[in-house]
Amino acid sequence: MRRWLTFAWIAALRFLGEGRMQTGFILGGIAIGVAVIVFMSAMLTSVQTNFTNRVLTSQPQIELQPPDEVARPLRQEEGVIEAAIVQRPTQRVLSVDQWQTILTRMRARSDIVVATPSVSGSALAVRGDASRSIGVVGIEPDDYFRIVRLPDYIIAGEPSLGTDDILVGIDLANDLGATVGDKLNVTTGTGGSRILTIRGIFDLGSKGANERNTYVQLRTAQSLLNLIGGVTGIDLTVNDVYAAETIAQDIGAVLPVKAQSWIMTNAQFFTAIWAQTLSSLLIRSFVGLSVAFGIAAVLVVSVLQRSKDIGILRAMGSSRGKILRVFLIQGGILGFLGSLAGSALGGVALLIWHLYARQANGAELFPMIVEPSLFVTSALLATLTGVLAGMVPALRAARLDPVEAIRG
């Protein structure tokens, strides 16, 4: 096999083989550094994906609503304001103007996956002597369940909705002492009243949502809220969840609606995600720098130890370019082999952590997401880091004067 290798490769492999101990130490250091990067990257990706999915599967990515009502100052005559102080009016339950046309336009956009109308409002749920304030959401189940995956959170009953059916949260059901099949008397401030049957009970993982959120057929909510033929919102999902705010601003600029994205309604969560990503990036950067300095330090020592060998090679006619390539190849080999060992070590650490890190009930903390591209990227970056780290000692070796190197 060696006859197929160039001089630079043969010299680089021989130098690494002769310094087995220091080569082993630096490979161990690189492996640990790469393992830390792989472990942190995979764990952070899993945590962020899990949190984002929990947020996005319980609410629309973009919601279109009627614009806020604005009070206007009274004018007695031109240029004279009768009431200079104008209070903000209460916001009534209003329908989105020309919502059918807007819905058609949203479904025609290439960056929107699902668009569906909804009706939301407040109501009072009564069962016997117990009563609770609730939020009623009227939906078209087939489309809405593609946005909010409510069937995944059903713990009793089924996620089907008839005209007189309702889906309630586990905490609301407990507060009312109700179960699947029981009746609720739902009344609204507009005078609407309906006896509804609990068809299913869900658990969204949030006490507030489980106590307040309820879901009924779109026509049922329209009747309860006295909004026949109207909708209070149009819910959307988009191709790129992180572009939701840009798409919302674009929609709000051309249509008479208030467009709110999940990024704005979950601003604190989104800020925490970015802060976590930035801190992880800084940690990985410092780990990468420590690996680079470790490779550079070993190669500098190698140059000092082999200065006479380098001088002899130069005296025998080896060019500066060949000597330069010898140490660049050494750095690349160290980075590549270290990345392979580090990727394996990081993968094993992920499996062990996922196996033993459990919730109190024994369930997994969150699904582990490991992308093959992570290992490929780590190998490429570690190899590149090794080559770059070997640049300075390689230049030093290439500049050695043959006579002085042999004498020294």
87 or 283, greater pLDDT = 283
Is 264 among the domain residues?
A: no
Same domain, residue pair 109 and 170: yes
- pLDDT of 179 over the 70 cut: yes
Same domain, residue pair 160 and 120: yes
Same domain, residue pair 97 and 230: yes
pLDDT digits (tens, 9 = 90+) for 14-32: 767 776 777 787 788 788 8
- pLDDT of 36 over the 60 cut: yes
Q: Is 117 helix (H, G, I), strand (E, B) or coil?
A: strand
- pLDDT of 181 over the 50 cut: yes
Q: How confident is the model at residue 114 (pLDDT cuts 50, 70, 90)?
A: very high
Same domain, residue pair 246 and 352: no
| Half-sphere exposure in the Cβ direction for 307 (13 Å, CA) | 15
pLDDT digits (tens, 9 = 90+) for 53-67: 766 767 788 999 888
Q: What is the mean pLDDT of residues 347-370?
A: 74
Tokens 């929107």 belong to residue: 112
The tokens describing 268, both together, are 């604190």
pTM: 0.65
Same domain, residue pair 190 and 97: yes
Same domain, residue pair 178 and 147: yes
Same domain, residue pair 214 and 358: no
The DSSP element (H or E) to which 76 belongs, if any, is strand 75-77
pLDDT digits (tens, 9 = 90+) for 235-258: 999 998 888 889 999 998 998 898
Which residue range forms the structural domain that includes residue 216? 91-256
Q: Alpha-carbon dihedral of residues 350, 351, 353, 357, nearest 10 degrees?
A: 130
pLDDT score, position 102: 92
**Dihedral of CA 187/192/193/199: which sign?**
negative
pLDDT score, position 81: 52
Q: What is the mean pLDDT of residues 283-287?
A: 76
pLDDT score, position 75: 57
From CA 31, how far away is CA 343, in angstroms rounded? 7
Same domain, residue pair 97 and 227: yes
pLDDT score, position 1: 47
Q: What is the mean pLDDT of residues 103-128?
A: 92
- pLDDT of 80 over the 60 cut: no
Rounded percentage of the chain residues whose pLDDT exceeds 70: 80
Q: Decide if 354 contacts 39 (C-beta within 8 A).
A: no
Same domain, residue pair 41 and 97: no
Same domain, residue pair 249 and 274: no
- pLDDT of 390 over the 60 cut: yes
Please count the structural domains in the chain: 2
pLDDT score, position 76: 55
